Structure 1
Amino acid sequence: MRHIFLPGLGALTAVSLLFATVAEAADDPRESELDRVVGEVIRPLMEANEIPGMAVAVTVQGKHYLFSYGIASKESGKKVTEETLFEIGSISKTFTATLAAYAEAKGALSLSDNASKYLPALAGSSFDAISLLDLGTYTAGGLPLQFPENVDDRDEMVAYFRSWRPAYAAGSHRLYSNPSIGLFGHLAAASMGKPFDDLMEQELFPALGLSRTYIRVPKDQMANYAYGNTKDGKAVRVTPGILDSEAYGVKTTAADMIRFVEANMDGSHLDEPLRRAIAATHTGYYAVGDMTQGLGWELHAYPAKLDRLLAGNSAEVSLKPNKVRKLEPPRPPREDVLINKTGSTRGFGAYAAFVPERRIGIVMLANKAYPIPERVKAAHRILTALADEPGLASTR
């Protein structure tokens, strides 16, 4: 796919048109139509939310298409390309969940094990009765969205967890929490005997075929690392924090993210433990209204009505405790679902969604944290077009 830079545009116009995608229709007749469908959704979205740059990838029946818009850095004016790295925020949790499920598939842990088994310093605490699965599904009993501000090193982290007391019985309520899934990833790495960052960068990412996905962006890739943008226009990148790698630390390209989405829909090229791990992340463990909580990923019945998809990604679900219904036995992976995850850091906003039954998916990466409902609506429009247009995807 070629991209053409359009010089001489004013700053406002540049937000949505600076970097336009041109289809190689001779190579794939669908590409021109996809360019139109995606552009008609993404350009107005960028203008309305003053997003400097976006990278969008869609996958249709095993083939992916990449679209780049705008600029990666306001200061330099460098345009977004297929090599641009974005922070994906909490979509990182899907990688963390995959690593933990991979550890279980290789016999290093069991999700039913108590958390304190893998961190002896927590012995005698509430985590003697909280399982790894509880941590991975945010049902440990009310761990908060973020650590308290005074927790900024490992010793303080352990002291915080030791002193923490659940507000709810484990498995009764879901409260979305970085400390919860952060500890989940930390303990999974401990079970494998290596640091979390090393396991991700040296084992999991390569096993998934991801060559430009990082926790720690290498020096030779820093020029490709976009700058995020705050609401008041300041250039930012993610601030280090306790268990940040596990909860929101991945930086990647749209090309790598869509490969990850494709591996989630068809992992036949992966080794057996990794295939089992991915299946585990699609397993339904708890019902939260119309949404089903997997490991990292969140699942919705398909066809997915927009109002229910918005409800499942709402502040009511992400910021408040919700009573859950435990699925016993856990619901095996299904094809007739829409699987999704949002992610944000201070300066970036991301969304990924896919439908295994149709083998369609989308990744949207932006260097601004714009409202989640806008992401969901835009992706829903594009996925609906992919599913309903015979020229773009197979019929039902």
Structure 2
Amino acid sequence: MWRLLSLLTALVLTSPVNAQFGETMQAIEALVDEAMPTSSAPGLAYAVVERGTVQASARGEMLLGSGRAVTADTPFQLGSISKSFTAMAVMQLVEAGEVSLDAGISTYLEEFNGQAGAAITVRELLSHTSGYSTLQGNQSHTDQTGGSDELAARVNRLAELVPAAQRGQRWWYSNANYLILGRLVEVVSGATFADYIESEILEPAGMNSSFVADGEVHETIATGHPPWFTGRRPVADRRTSRVMAPAGGVIASAADVARYLAIMTNGQDDLISAESKALMLQPANVASPFYGLGWFIDVENGDAYHTGLSPGVETIAALSLSEGRGVVVLVNASSGMGFGLTADLLSGIPAIALDDPYVSVGSQLSAKLFFVMLMSLPVFFVAGIVGAWLLRAGLRAKSGVSGHFSLWFPLLTTGTMSWAFLSLVPNLFSVPLNTLSLYQPDMVILLIASSVTGLALAVFRLGVFYLGRNEQIQA
């Protein structure tokens, strides 16, 4: 059966497209012509599927300046689209009678016995209603050894956490949920997560250019390019992350993801039953009105989708549940602050493919001005230090309440700014600063530089004043 399925999904990629499909592809190509230059993305691959007929295309380079062309078969790290694969693996185990969606996770993972999260159900993990917060799922660890047991080690750590909210009460997107589910797949199946996904989903689906992160560097993968001061540079560390595989480590080409989307929209029993597919693609519960099991749900438009973000790579896969359409977009670049925006590619292509409304993000002038301000702050503060020294006589002449206020108030303001830059901003992103630096390295450098130079200016002015006053008193 699996060989037949692989053959059929391969055949759809060579089927002739109808006239309407051709018009859709022409509209997408026109959008790519307009949006790709402003995105500064080195490469792009996308594919559209409609009732089993697939068309794929690609532009640009795998690595900036390399001349190695991106093709429809070039693998990209899918990021959080991988969660849908993990969810499908769990549904396979449910259909095999080995897992129950409403059983507590401690039923399968003994490390949760006696822990605060023991009663969290498999369904709650799949739907992000477990109570684990986004920040809990993004916390940095030092357990990425590359060994086959590092997912088990990470989940052991997660088992010791107290969820930030009561289970089943609120929706909170968290990688923690899918790391735990990945470990569930390992324990119940007896195989590593990578081996299970590759043997039970990727190979049967004919996804021959795809695999699961194994902690190694693969030259065949499109290299990610994070923003770098209005431009781009390739990621320094190109190793794949084995421990994050269940939440973001499936690596696949646009053509292969199209095969996967064709399976998800065919209404047939194959990798999983049609009933299980329908369950995955509908709101999971009252606390999760816009997320199913591994998929976001757009109830208004009747679509399901999932985005993905890896260092320097952005992706999206989307399905029209009523029209039997699907689309995937893979870009080896991530958006900067107002510069190099990828949103028109990642939102515009799916909108055209699924016949949904879309409005361009525009020039994002306010974001650009904020980023330029960030670039200017360290220069301004360093200039202030130089100026404070050159004008030290006037600084030392300050006296009275107003004079001392003008000396100490900058320490309060720059201290508040530093707190906002180094603590508040990471909390807004729900990610530690060192992890944020993998995705927005230029912004993190500017946040740190502004904080350090701002505090340095305030302290330097105080030093010039008080040291100078002491010298005058001694004289």
Of residues 347, 350, 355, the one that matches 1:376 is 347
Instruction: Give me the whole-angstrom Cα distance separating, in 1, the residues matched to 2:15 and 2:201.
Output: 35
The answer to whether the 8 Å contact 1:56/1:254 transfers is yes
Instruction: Give me the whole-angstrom Cα distance separating, in 1, the residues matched to 2:221 and 2:240.
Output: 16
User: Judging changes above 3 Å, is the alpha-carbon distance between structure 1 residues 352 and 45 closer, same or farther for their aligned structure 2 residues?
Assistant: same
- Post-superposition offset of 1:283: 3.5
- Does residue 352 (structure 1) correspond to residue 317 (structure 2)? The answer is yes
| SS, match of residue 128 in structure 1 | coil
Of residues 365, 371, 387, the one that matches 2:330 is 365
Q: Which amino acid aligns with 2:293?
A: L
Instruction: Give me the whole-angstrom Cα distance separating, in 2, the residues matched to 1:29 and 1:217.
Output: 42
Instruction: Give me the whole-angstrom Cα distance separating, in 1, the residues matched to 2:18 and 2:331.
Output: 26
- Post-superposition offset of 1:206: 2.0
Of residues 39, 44, 57, the one that matches 2:47 is 57
Instruction: Give me the whole-angstrom Cα distance separating, in 2, the residues matched to 1:210 and 1:91.
Output: 15
Instruction: Give me the whole-angstrom Cα distance separating, in 2, the residues matched to 1:256 and 1:65.
Output: 11
| SS, match of residue 344 in structure 1 | strand
User: Judging changes above 3 Å, is the alpha-carbon distance between structure 1 residues 239 and 286 closer, same or farther for their aligned structure 2 residues?
Assistant: farther
The answer to whether the 8 Å contact 1:208/1:270 transfers is no
After superposition, give the CA deviation of every residue in 1:21-80 in whole Å (9 maximum; x if it has no partner): xxx999754565334211111222222211111011111232111111111122421111
After superposition, give the CA deviation of every residue in 1:344-389 in whole Å (9 maximum; x if it has no partner): 1011110111112112221101101236754224421342179xxx
| SS, match of residue 91 in structure 2 | helix
Q: Which amino acid aligns with 2:277?
A: I
Instruction: Give me the whole-angstrom Cα distance separating, in 2, the residues matched to 1:209 and 1:200.
Output: 13
After superposition, give the CA deviation of every residue in 1:107-127 in whole Å (9 maximum; x if it has no partner): 111111111122212211012
Instruction: Give me the whole-angstrom Cα distance separating, in 2, the residues matched to 1:276 and 1:189.
Output: 24
Moved more, 148-157 or 186-195: 148-157
Equivalent residue number for residue 111 of structure 1 = 101
After superposition, give the CA deviation of every residue in 1:230-265 in whole Å (9 maximum; x if it has no partner): 112222365555731101001111111111111111
- Post-superposition offset of 1:129: 1.5
Instruction: Give me the whole-angstrom Cα distance separating, in 1, the residues matched to 2:215 and 2:130.
Output: 35
- % identical equivalent positions: 23
The answer to whether the 8 Å contact 1:137/1:293 transfers is yes
Larger radius of gyration: 2
Moved more, 120-129 or 231-240: 231-240
Equivalent residue number for residue 189 of structure 1 = 186
| Coordinate RMSD, CA, aligned | 2.9
Instruction: Give me the whole-angstrom Cα distance separating, in 1, the residues matched to 2:70 and 2:97.
Output: 42
Equivalent residue number for residue 259 of structure 2 = 259
Give structure 2 stretches of 5+ with no counterpart. Answer: 1-13, 145-149, 336-340, 358-475
User: Judging changes above 3 Å, is the alpha-carbon distance between structure 1 residues 274 and 249 closer, same or farther for their aligned structure 2 residues?
Assistant: farther
Instruction: Give me the whole-angstrom Cα distance separating, in 2, the residues matched to 1:275 and 1:259.
Output: 16
Higher helix share: 2
User: Judging changes above 3 Å, is the alpha-carbon distance between structure 1 residues 72 and 212 closer, same or farther for their aligned structure 2 residues?
Assistant: same
| SS, match of residue 117 in structure 2 | helix
Instruction: Give me the whole-angstrom Cα distance separating, in 1, the residues matched to 2:36 and 2:108.
Output: 45
User: Judging changes above 3 Å, is the alpha-carbon distance between structure 1 residues 142 and 253 closer, same or farther for their aligned structure 2 residues?
Assistant: same
The one of the two structures with greater contact order (alpha-carbon pairs below 8 A, sep at least 6) is 1
| TM-score, structure 1 as length reference | 0.75
The answer to whether the 8 Å contact 1:83/1:224 transfers is no
Instruction: Give me the whole-angstrom Cα distance separating, in 1, the residues matched to 2:213 and 2:78.
Output: 13
Q: Which amino acid aligns with 1:167?
A: A
Give structure 1 stretches of 5+ with no counterpart. Answer: 1-23, 305-336, 387-396
Instruction: Give me the whole-angstrom Cα distance separating, in 1, the residues matched to 2:215 and 2:138.
Output: 27
Equivalent residue number for residue 297 of structure 1 = 295
Equivalent residue number for residue 141 of structure 2 = 149
Instruction: Give me the whole-angstrom Cα distance separating, in 1, the residues matched to 2:142 and 2:218.
Output: 30
The answer to whether the 8 Å contact 2:241/2:249 transfers is no
After superposition, give the CA deviation of every residue in 1:194-226 in whole Å (9 maximum; x if it has no partner): 11111011122123232222104799x945321
Instruction: Give me the whole-angstrom Cα distance separating, in 2, the residues matched to 1:344 and 1:182.
Output: 16
| TM-score, structure 2 as length reference | 0.63
| SS, match of residue 376 in structure 1 | helix
Instruction: Give me the whole-angstrom Cα distance separating, in 1, the residues matched to 2:15 and 2:279.
Output: 39
Give the count of matched residue pairs: 327
- Does residue 213 (structure 1) correspond to residue 210 (structure 2)? The answer is yes
Equivalent residue number for residue 203 of structure 1 = 200
| SS, match of residue 365 in structure 1 | strand
After superposition, give the CA deviation of every residue in 1:60-110 in whole Å (9 maximum; x if it has no partner): 232111111111122421111122111110000010100011110111111
Moved more, 48-57 or 144-153: 144-153
- Does residue 245 (structure 1) correspond to residue 242 (structure 2)? The answer is no
Of residues 39, 46, 69, the one that matches 2:36 is 46
Higher strand share: 1
Instruction: Give me the whole-angstrom Cα distance separating, in 2, the residues matched to 1:155 and 1:174.
Output: 25
| SS, match of residue 167 in structure 2 | coil
| SS, match of residue 352 in structure 1 | strand
Instruction: Give me the whole-angstrom Cα distance separating, in 2, the residues matched to 1:218 and 1:299.
Output: 32
Q: Which amino acid aligns with 1:338?
A: D
The answer to whether the 8 Å contact 1:102/1:276 transfers is no
| SS, match of residue 108 in structure 1 | coil
Q: Which amino acid aligns with 1:356?
A: L
Structure 2 counterparts to residues 157-172 of structure 1, below 5 A: 157-172=154-169
Moved more, 163-172 or 366-375: 366-375
The answer to whether the 8 Å contact 2:333/2:342 transfers is no
| SS, match of residue 73 in structure 2 | coil
The answer to whether the 8 Å contact 2:316/2:328 transfers is yes
The answer to whether the 8 Å contact 1:214/1:250 transfers is yes
Q: Which amino acid aligns with 1:124?
A: G
